[in-house]
């Protein structure tokens, strides 16, 4: 019976505080994750407003790239005429 009381005392004064300390650390990490998730949600909602214009901007970018490619091709053709042929 004495060993039973010693086991209960060890459980109460050693194991239980260790479990509570570990649980406290886990809950603190969960709270930090929850705060980060809330922050991501708020900023993600703001970002969706900015993303709506992307297809229009890409269409404009494609047009500009096409113009630059045509100009570069004309330039390269002119330069090729000025350079001597390789032998």
User: How far apart, in whole angstroms, are the C-alpha atoms of residue 42 and residue 8?
Assistant: 49
pLDDT at residue 21 greater than cutoff 90: yes
The CA radius of gyration of the chain, in Å to the nearest whole number, is 35
Q: Convert 25-51 to b/e letters by CB count within 10 Å (16 or more is b).
A: eeeeeeeeeeeeeeeeeeeeeeeeeee
Note the pTM of the prediction, 2 decimals: 0.48
The whole-angstrom separation of Cα 25 and Cα 52 is 41
pLDDT for 11 equals 85
Residue 87 has what pLDDT? 67
- The token duo for 31 is 């709270």
pLDDT in tens, 25-73: 999 999 999 999 999 998 888 888 778 888 888 888 998 999 999 999 9
Confidence band for 8, pLDDT divided at 50, 70 and 90:
confident
């Amino acid at each position: 019976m004495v060993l039973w009381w010693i086991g209960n005392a060890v459980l109460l004064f050693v194991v239980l505080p260790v479990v509570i300390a570990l649980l406290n650390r886990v809950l603190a990490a969960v709270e930090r994750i929850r705060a980060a998730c809330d922050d991501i949600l708020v900023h993600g909602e703001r970002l969706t407003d900015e993303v709506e214009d992307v297809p229009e901007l890409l269409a404009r970018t494609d047009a500009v790239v096409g113009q630059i490619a045509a100009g570069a091709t004309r330039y390269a053709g002119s330069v090729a005429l000025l350079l001597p042929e390789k032998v």
